[in-house]
Protein backbone atom coordinates (compact mmCIF):
# COMPACT_ATOMS: atom_id res chain seq x y z
CA UNK A 1 0.00 0.00 0.00
CA UNK A 2 1.55 3.36 -0.95
CA UNK A 3 2.44 5.72 1.87
CA UNK A 4 3.04 9.46 1.79
CA UNK A 5 5.34 11.15 4.28
CA UNK A 6 4.52 14.84 4.56
CA UNK A 7 6.78 17.37 6.32
CA UNK A 8 5.18 20.68 7.25
CA UNK A 9 7.47 23.42 8.56
CA UNK A 10 6.98 27.01 9.57
CA UNK A 11 8.39 29.40 6.97
CA UNK A 12 12.01 30.27 7.83
CA UNK A 13 11.28 34.00 8.17
CA UNK A 14 8.79 33.41 10.99
CA UNK A 15 9.68 33.08 14.67
CA UNK A 16 9.10 29.54 15.93
CA UNK A 17 8.05 30.17 19.54
CA UNK A 18 7.67 26.47 20.35
CA UNK A 19 11.15 25.80 18.96
CA UNK A 20 12.61 28.62 21.09
CA UNK A 21 11.08 27.11 24.22
CA UNK A 22 12.50 23.68 23.38
CA UNK A 23 15.91 25.23 22.68
CA UNK A 24 15.83 26.89 26.11
CA UNK A 25 14.86 23.61 27.76
CA UNK A 26 17.70 21.78 25.98
CA UNK A 27 20.16 24.43 27.21
CA UNK A 28 18.94 23.98 30.77
CA UNK A 29 19.52 20.25 30.39
CA UNK A 30 23.15 20.98 29.51
CA UNK A 31 22.98 20.86 25.70
CA UNK A 32 24.74 24.17 25.15
CA UNK A 33 25.74 23.51 21.53
CA UNK A 34 22.23 23.92 20.12
CA UNK A 35 22.01 27.05 17.98
CA UNK A 36 18.43 26.70 16.71
CA UNK A 37 15.39 24.44 17.01
CA UNK A 38 12.39 24.48 14.70
CA UNK A 39 9.39 22.24 15.17
CA UNK A 40 7.16 21.05 12.38
CA UNK A 41 4.72 18.28 11.64
CA UNK A 42 5.44 14.84 10.23
CA UNK A 43 2.29 13.34 8.71
CA UNK A 44 2.12 9.73 7.52
CA UNK A 45 -0.72 8.95 5.12
CA UNK A 46 -1.62 5.47 3.91
CA UNK A 47 -3.21 5.57 0.49
CA UNK A 48 -5.09 3.20 -1.76
CA UNK A 49 -4.61 3.10 -5.50
CA UNK A 50 -1.57 4.18 -7.43
CA UNK A 51 -2.61 6.88 -9.87
CA UNK A 52 -1.95 10.60 -9.48
CA UNK A 53 -0.75 10.20 -5.91
CA UNK A 54 1.71 13.10 -6.14
CA UNK A 55 -1.00 15.42 -7.38
CA UNK A 56 -3.47 14.22 -4.74
CA UNK A 57 -1.08 14.60 -1.82
CA UNK A 58 -0.07 18.05 -3.05
CA UNK A 59 -3.76 19.01 -3.07
CA UNK A 60 -4.21 17.59 0.48
CA UNK A 61 -1.34 19.76 1.66
CA UNK A 62 -2.67 22.91 0.04
CA UNK A 63 -6.25 22.37 1.17
CA UNK A 64 -5.82 21.00 4.68
CA UNK A 65 -2.47 19.83 5.99
CA UNK A 66 -0.45 23.04 5.65
CA UNK A 67 -1.33 26.70 5.97
CA UNK A 68 0.41 28.12 2.89
CA UNK A 69 0.51 31.62 4.38
CA UNK A 70 2.88 30.63 7.18
CA UNK A 71 4.02 27.09 6.38
CA UNK A 72 6.06 25.26 3.78
CA UNK A 73 5.57 21.61 2.98
CA UNK A 74 7.29 18.81 1.13
CA UNK A 75 6.44 15.17 0.77
CA UNK A 76 7.70 11.88 -0.58
CA UNK A 77 5.69 8.86 -1.64
CA UNK A 78 6.80 5.31 -0.80
CA UNK A 79 5.33 2.77 -3.19
Smallest distance, a second copy to C-beta of residue 29, A:
6
Contact pattern for a second copy over residues 3 through 42, marking x by CB under 8 A: ----xxx---------x--x--xx--x-x-xxxxxxxxxx
Quote the CA–CA distance of 17 and 32 in Å, as a whole number. 19
CA dist 3 → 44, 57, 72, 76 (Å): 7, 10, 20, 8
Beta-carbon contacts of 31 under 8 Å, excluding residues fewer than 6 positions away, are none
Residue from 44, 55, 69, 79 that binds a second copy (CB under 8 A)? 44
Q: What angle is formed at CA 12 by the lines to CA 39 and CA 8, rounded to 5 degrees?
A: 45
For position 77 contacting a second copy by CB under 8 A, the verdict is: no
Cβ proximity to a second copy, 30 vs 69, nearer residue: 30
Residues in the site for a second copy, rule: CB under 8 A?
Answer: 1, 7-9, 19, 22, 25-26, 29, 31, 33-49, 56, 59-60, 63-65
Amino acid sequence: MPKANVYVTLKPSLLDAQGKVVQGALEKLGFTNVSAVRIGKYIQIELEGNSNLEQQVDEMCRKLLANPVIEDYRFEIER
